[in-house]
Structure 1
Amino acid sequence: MSSSSTSTVALDSAPHDHRPPLYNAGRLGQARQLLGVAILCLSMLLTQSSLGQTVLPIRSIARTFDVESSDAQQSWFAASFSLTVGTFVLPAGRIGDLVGHKTVVIVGYAVLSVWSLLAGLSHYTGSYVFFDVCRAMQGLGCAVLLPNSLAILGRVFAPGTYAKHLSFSFFAATAPNGFLVGALFTTLMDMNSRLGWQWGFYIMAITAAALAVLCIWILPNEAEMRAVSAAWESDTKPESSEPSTPIEKKAPLWQRIDLFGTLTGIIGLVLFNFAFNQALVVGWQTPYIYALLLVGLLFIGVFIYGESKALFPLLPTSVFHLSGTFILLSLACGWASFGIWLFYVNLMQQTIRGYSPIFTLLTFVPAGVAGIVAAFSSAHILGKTSPPFVMLLSLIAFCTGSCVAGNAPVRVESLPYIASAIMPFGMDMSFPAASIILSDFLPAHQQGTASSIVNTVVNYSIALGLGFAGVVETHVNEGGRNVLKGYRGAFYMGMGFAGAGVALALVNWGMHLRESKQSQRDKDETEAEKF
C-alpha cells in the first residue's frame, strides 16, 4: 500500500506528498500495510465463508441432527447466523467507536474462533438446537468484526479518494469468493469419510485464531489512525477522531453507548426475525408466533422513539435524510433477494436437478470471478458517476439474476450459471456505494456507526428475506407434495424484493439528478451575478 517513497494514497493525490503514509508502519513499511488491509478484508471473507459452510453440505448436516425431512428447520442453519450478524453489527460499531476499533476486531476474531470450534464439536451432541446457537454466536463474532474492520479502512483513507474506493472494493470483492471458500472446504471435508463436515468449522476456528494474533502486531493503533485523520485536508485537527463535544466526553458510558437503544433494538429485531423463521417450523397457527411478532414490533417502535430522544443515538439522524433512506431501503430489497437466490438455487440444484454438493458448488464459481470484476469496476464507476446511479445498476443486477435463476426450466441447466455471474454485480456495487455514502456523511469518530448501518441492513435483510420466502414456499407447495412449485414461489418472492429495490433506486436517482441540475442552476446564477 505504501512505503517511504510510494503509497496508494500518494498515487491518488500526487500533489499532496506531504501526507503521511497509510499509517506508521515502522521498519516493516509496505509489508505491514498490505497485511493490515488484507486482514481487514479477510473479516468479510470469513463472514461469507461462515455463511457458506452450511449452504452446500446442508443435507449432510441435517442428517447428523436428524432433521433431513424439514427444510424449515434447515433454513435456521443459515438464518441464525445472518440474524445475529444483522442484529448486533450496529451496537458493535458503536462499541468500537468508544473503546477502539483495533481492540474490537481482535475480540471479533477470537469469538469467531471459539464458536466455530464449538459448532464443529456439536456433531457429537446430535442437538440441532445447540448447533443453531453456535451458528448464532459465530454471527456475533462476525457482527463485531465487520463494522470495525470497515471503520479502520474508513479512517485511514481520506473521504472521496480513489484509494478509499479501491479499499472498499477489495473488501466487497472478498464476499462471493469467501462464500465459495467456506462452501468448498466444508464440502470437501464432508466428502472425506475420515473427517466430516465438522472439520470445515475446525479450520475456520484455527484461521480466526491466527488472525486474532496477527491483528495485535499488524493493525494500526488509535494514535496512528488519529495522526492519519489529522493529515486529511478536510480534517486538520488531530482531535477530530475523538468525541467532539465536552458533554460527550463527560457523559457516562451507558449514555454514550446508548444502552436503552441497544437493548430495545436488539430485542425487537431478534424477536421479529425469530418469529418469522420459527413459524416455518411450528406453523403460523401457533399462538406464540403472533405474540413474538407483536412484542418485537413493540420494541422496534420503542427503539425508534427512543432514538429520537437519545443524547447519543445509535442511529445518527444525519444519515436518514430522504436520499439516504431510499438507498438503505433499496439495499435491503436487493440483499433480501440475494439471500433467497443463494438458498433456493442450492436447493434446486441438489433436490430438483439431483446435483451432488461439490457439483452444486460449480454453479457458484462464476460468482467468484464476476465478483472480482464487479468490485473493481464499481471503484472505477464510483469515480466517474454518482452513488445513486451505481445503486440503480446494482439493483438491476439483483433483479436480473433472480429472474434468470427463478424462471429457469429444470432441463435448462446453464441458466443458474448465468445468474451466478450476474448476482455479484448487485452485491459488489451496492455494498461499497452505500458504505462510502454513509462513511462520508459522518465524522471520523463515527465511522464504525456508518459501516454498521450498512452491514445491519445487508445481513438482517438476508435473514428476513429467507423468512418471507419460506412462508411463501410452505403455502404454495401443496403440503410438500409439489416441491418445485414451492421453490418457484420463493424465487418469485425474491424477484418481488428486487423489483421493489429497482423502483426505489430509480426514484432516488431521479431525485439526485433533479438536485444536481438545481445546484448547477444556482451556481450559474451566482456566477452571473458576479459579472
Structure 2
Amino acid sequence: MASSLFKFDQRPRVFKSIYHEIIVIILVCMAQFLSQAGVTMSLSTMNIMLNSFQVTDKTIQVWFMGGYSLSVGTFILFSGKLGDLFGLKKIFIVGWIWVSLWSLITGISYYSKSIIFFIICRAFQGVGYALLLPCGMGILGHIYPNGKRKNLAFGCIGANGPIGAMVGAFMAAVVGQTWWWPWEFYLITILSIILLIGSIFFIPHLSNDEINGEITIKNVWQKLDIFGALTGIIGLILLNFIWNQGPVAGWGKAYIIVVLIISILLIVSFFIIELNFSTHPLLPRSIFNIKVGLILACISFGWGSFGIWQYYYWNIILNLRLYTAIEGGLTYTPFLVMGTIAAITVSFIIIHTKPSYIISFATTCFMVGCIMLSVMPVEQSYFRISMGQMFILCWGMDLSFPAASIILSDILPQHHQGMAGSLVTTMVNYSVSLFLGISSCVEIEIFKHNQDQLGSYRAGLYFGIGVAAIGVICSFVLIFLTKDDLNGNEDLVEEVEHKHEEIEVRNYEINDESDEKEEIR
C-alpha cells in the first residue's frame, strides 16, 4: 500500500531532466506564491501605508485588498482564453513583464501622495497575476497526464498559497516597519524579473491547437469573444465596485444606484450572449452542468468567507490587540507549516477519496475559522483561539484549491487547460473581493448605530459565517448527487466529455453548413 502510494507516473518527455521539471514547477508555483503574498502584504502594513498617505478615514482600506483581488478575479477568465489562443508560455511571460512593471509603479506611487492612485496601481498589478495564474496551471495541465505526478504538481501550487500568505505578510511587515514600505514592491519587481528570465529559458514550448491556420484580426476577435468579454468584465467590475464603494460613499448617492442597475444588466447580458450568440464563448458550454456548478459554488462561498476572515483578523490584531506589523506577520507561521502538509496531502488522498468529500470538509473548515474569530476575546493569548483557527483554515485553503483545480483540469480537453486554471482562480479571487465588499457594508452600518468597533467587526464576520454555511450546504448537495459515483470524479469526467462531444459534433455540422453556403456563393 505504502509503495503504491509513493509510486509516481513516468516523467513527461518535455522535461530534459528531473531538475528541469522541478524548475518549471517552481516557476509556476511562484505565480501562486506572489499572488497570495500580494494580498497579505497590504494587510500587515495597511496602517503604515495609511499613515504615509496621511489618511484618517480607514474605511478606504478595504480597497487595499478588494481592488487587488477584484482585478485578479475579473480579468482571469479572459486571460485563460488568451493563453489557450496565443500560447500558454507567451502569456505567462507577458504576465511576469506586467507584474514587474506595475510593482515598480506601485512603489513609486508613494511620491504621488494619493491613496487613490496607489489603489489603482495595486489593481493593475493584479492584472499581471490574472495572466500568470491560469496560464501557469494550464502549462502543468497540458504537460501532465492524469495521475499521481500531476496531482502532486497541483498540490505544490496549492501549498504556495499559505506559504505566500505568511511570507508576504511577514516580509512586508519587516520592510514597512523597519525600512520603507515602497521597497515591498521594489523587491517584488526584482524577483519578477528573475522569474521572467527563468520562464523564457525553462518553460517548454507547447503545441497550440486552438487557432488553425493564420492568426488574423477576424478570427482573434471571434475566438476571444471580445464583445462577451467586455460585457462580462465591465459588469463584474461595476458590481464589485458598488459593494466596496457603497458603504464608503453612502447608499443614498444616485450614482451608486445607477451603477448597481447597470452592472446587473451587463452581467445578465453576458450570460445571454455566451449561451445564445457567441460562437466561441469564454466558458466552454460543456462545463455547464450541476456538478461542476456546485464545485465552483463551494469554492466561491468558501474562499469568499476566507477573504472576510483575513480582513477582520488583521483589523482585530492591529487595531484592537495593537500588535506591530512584524508581530502580526509572525502569527501566520502555522499557515506555513500546516498549509504545506495539507496541500501535499490532497494530491494523494484525492486518488482514493471522492472530490465531493474533500471539498465539503474544506468548506466546513472555512466556516469553523470564521466562527472561531467571531468569538475570540481581544485580550486572549495568541496561543489559544488565534493560533487554533490557523490549523483549521489551512485545510480549507489547501484542500479546496488543488482538489477543484485537479478535477477541472482532468475533465477539460487539452486546448482548454488555460480555461481550467482560470475557472478556479476566478472564483477564488473575485469572491474574496465581492463578499469582502458586502461584509464591509455590514460592518460600517453596524458601527454607525452602536459605535462599537469590535461589535462591527464581529457583524462582518457573522456575514462571513453565513457565506461559508451556504458553501457547506452546496457541498452536501454535491455529495448527494455524486453518491452513486464509485471512482472519484470519473462519472463527472464522462458526463462532461459526453457533453463536449455533442457540442463538437454540433459545431462540426454548423461549420459544414457554412462551408456549403460559401461554395454556393
Tell me, yes or no, whether TM beats 0.5.
Answer: yes
**Alignment partner, residue 452 of structure 2:** 482
Distance verdict in 2 for CA 1:250–1:76, change over 3 Å: closer
Q: Are the aligned partners of 2:335 and 2:391 in contact in 1 as well (CA < 8 Å)? A: yes
- TM-score normalized with structure 1 length: 0.87
Identify the match of residue 23 of structure 2 among 35, 44, 48: 35
Q: Summarize deviations over 1:355-411 as a string: whole Å, max 9, x none.
A: 111111222111121111110111121011111111101111111111111111223
Q: Are the aligned partners of 1:146 and 1:455 in contact in 2 as well (CA < 8 Å)? A: yes
Identify the match of residue 47 of structure 1 among 35, 47, 55: 35
What is the percent sequence identity of the aligned residues? 35
**Alignment partner, residue 236 of structure 1:** none
SS of aligned partner of 2:380: coil
The whole-number CA distance in structure 2 between the counterparts of 1:25 and 1:328 is 32
Identify the match of residue 179 of structure 1 among 153, 165, 178: 165
**Alignment partner, residue 126 of structure 2:** 139
Identify the match of residue 422 of structure 1 among 382, 389, 392: 392
Identify the match of residue 267 of structure 2 among 267, 282, 300: 300
| 1:349 and 2:337 are equivalent in the alignment | no
SS of aligned partner of 1:171: helix
Identify the match of residue 255 of structure 1 among 219, 222, 225: 222
**Alignment partner, residue 472 of structure 1:** 442
How well do the aligned residues superpose, as a CA RMSD in angstroms?
2.2
For this pair of structures, how many residues does the alignment match? 483
Q: Are the aligned partners of 1:318 and 1:441 in contact in 2 as well (CA < 8 Å)? A: no
The whole-number CA distance in structure 2 between the counterparts of 1:47 and 1:103 is 19
Q: Summarize deviations over 1:246-278 as a string: whole Å, max 9, x none.
A: 999997111111111111011000000011101
The whole-number CA distance in structure 2 between the counterparts of 1:286 and 1:381 is 51
Query: Where in structure 2 are there 5+ consecutive unaligned residues?
Result: 492-521
Q: Are the aligned partners of 2:140 and 2:153 in contact in 1 as well (CA < 8 Å)? A: yes
SS of aligned partner of 1:285: coil
SS of aligned partner of 1:311: coil
Distance verdict in 2 for CA 1:250–1:115, change over 3 Å: closer
**Alignment partner, residue 401 of structure 1:** 369
The whole-number CA distance in structure 1 between the counterparts of 2:361 and 2:446 is 32
Identify the match of residue 24 of structure 1 among 5, 14, 33: 14
Q: Are the aligned partners of 1:43 and 1:149 in contact in 2 as well (CA < 8 Å)? A: yes
The whole-number CA distance in structure 1 between the counterparts of 2:291 and 2:235 is 25
**Alignment partner, residue 125 of structure 1:** 112
Name the amino acid aligned to 1:34.
I
Q: Summarize deviations over 1:178-208 as a string: whole Å, max 9, x none.
A: 011111121111122xx31111111001101
Name the amino acid aligned to 2:315.
L
Name the amino acid aligned to 1:468.
I
The whole-number CA distance in structure 2 between the counterparts of 1:210 and 1:279 is 40
The whole-number CA distance in structure 1 between the counterparts of 2:297 and 2:387 is 28
| 1:359 and 2:327 are equivalent in the alignment | yes
**Alignment partner, residue 284 of structure 1:** 251
**Alignment partner, residue 351 of structure 2:** 383
Name the amino acid aligned to 1:24.
V
Q: Summarize deviations over 1:37-91 as a string: whole Å, max 9, x none.
A: 1001100001011112210110010111222x32320110111100000000000
SS of aligned partner of 2:483: helix
Identify the match of residue 108 of structure 1 among 95, 115, 136: 95
The whole-number CA distance in structure 1 between the counterparts of 2:30 and 2:213 is 37
Identify the match of residue 62 of structure 1 among 34, 46, 50: 50
**Alignment partner, residue 99 of structure 1:** 86
Q: Summarize deviations over 1:151-173 as a string: whole Å, max 9, x none.
A: 001011102x0111111110000
- TM-score normalized with structure 2 length: 0.89
The whole-number CA distance in structure 2 between the counterparts of 1:358 and 1:198 is 16
**Alignment partner, residue 235 of structure 1:** none
| 1:209 and 2:193 are equivalent in the alignment | yes
Name the amino acid aligned to 2:293.
T
Distance verdict in 2 for CA 1:295–1:83, change over 3 Å: same
Identify the match of residue 495 of structure 1 among 436, 445, 465: 465
Q: Are the aligned partners of 1:477 and 1:484 in contact in 2 as well (CA < 8 Å)? A: no
Q: Are the aligned partners of 1:151 and 1:448 in contact in 2 as well (CA < 8 Å)? A: yes
Q: Summarize deviations over 1:122-146 as a string: whole Å, max 9, x none.
A: 1111101110111001100000000
Query: Where in structure 1 are there 5+ consecutive unaligned residues?
Result: 1-7, 227-240, 521-531
Identify the match of residue 152 of structure 2 among 147, 161, 166: 166
The whole-number CA distance in structure 2 between the counterparts of 1:479 and 1:220 is 58
The whole-number CA distance in structure 1 between the counterparts of 2:168 and 2:328 is 14
Q: Are the aligned partners of 2:78 and 2:282 in contact in 1 as well (CA < 8 Å)? A: yes
Distance verdict in 2 for CA 1:245–1:323, change over 3 Å: farther
**Alignment partner, residue 514 of structure 2:** none
SS of aligned partner of 2:283: coil
The whole-number CA distance in structure 2 between the counterparts of 1:215 and 1:11 is 29
**Alignment partner, residue 323 of structure 1:** 291
Q: Are the aligned partners of 2:247 and 2:441 in contact in 1 as well (CA < 8 Å)? A: yes
Name the amino acid aligned to 1:273.
N
